[in-house]
Amino acid sequence: MAPQQRNLPLFPLNTVLFPNATLPLQIFEDRYKEMLRDCLDSDSRFGIVLIKEGQEVGDPSTPYNVGTVAHILQVSEIRNGARFFVSTQGGRRFSINNITQRRPYMIADVELWDRETEEELVGKELDEVKEALTKYRSLVTGLEGGWMGELRLTADPVSLSYEIAGILQIRMHERQALLEESHVSDRLQSELKYLQRDLEALTKEVSRKMRRKFSNQ
């Protein structure tokens, strides 16, 4: 399939948007309010890219090369346009070929990646990831003092890999690496390593919390 290319406004942020995930945004800088108006006048899409160097506010920052197309779902205007609350959902991934504009907001020629196809995975591999995720969610929820209901996960490995990526409490450069991963099986294996790594630390933290609780009784 021939690569699909397009010109896309970019919104550099200190977060990673995964395909299918939703992301609420607050837009208050004039440059991004202008970008929002331009997007709404076009196809209601812009790209979200993780900042590699620089800040969200102020001078133009340097983004990572791979991002995700954000589809605008809903816009709410606050205080006569002083601020906008924007609901977005992640679409296709893309890579930046060339940044064509930096002011007032960034625009780039990008190459849209093909949608991933579901790979045939061994049932044991999926079961191992799901089991680790269930333990992970249980420990995180317990530490936060909450209660976890039944964890319902999609059967589609591609969607599952992005669902897990959104749940993991990992560093941003690790989330970026998951976004850039080309094959779903490799992404799931990376996520399993993160889960197993953090399960050990979470288990120790739960044990410390329980010891403190009973020692104070």
Full domain range(s) for residue 142: 123-215
- 66 & 89 share domain: yes
In a domain, 152, yes or no: yes
- Within this chain, do residues 104 and 148 fall inside the same structural domain, yes or no? no
* C-alpha to C-alpha distance for 178 and 172, rounded to whole angstroms: 10
User: What CATH number does residue 168 fall under?
Assistant: 1.20.58.1480
> Mean of the per-residue pLDDT values for the chain?
89
Query: What is the tally of structural domains in the chain?
Result: 2
Same domain, 91 and 137: no
Q: Whole-angstrom Cα distance, residue 39 to residue 8?
A: 9
- Percentage of the chain modeled with pLDDT above 90: 65
- Note the pLDDT tens digit of each residue in 141-157: 877 765 556 677 787 88
Cβ-contact 138, 204 below 8 angstroms: no
Which residue has better confidence, 142 or 204? 204
Select from 62, 89, 112 the last residue of a domain. 112
Q: Both 102 and 128 in a single domain? A: no
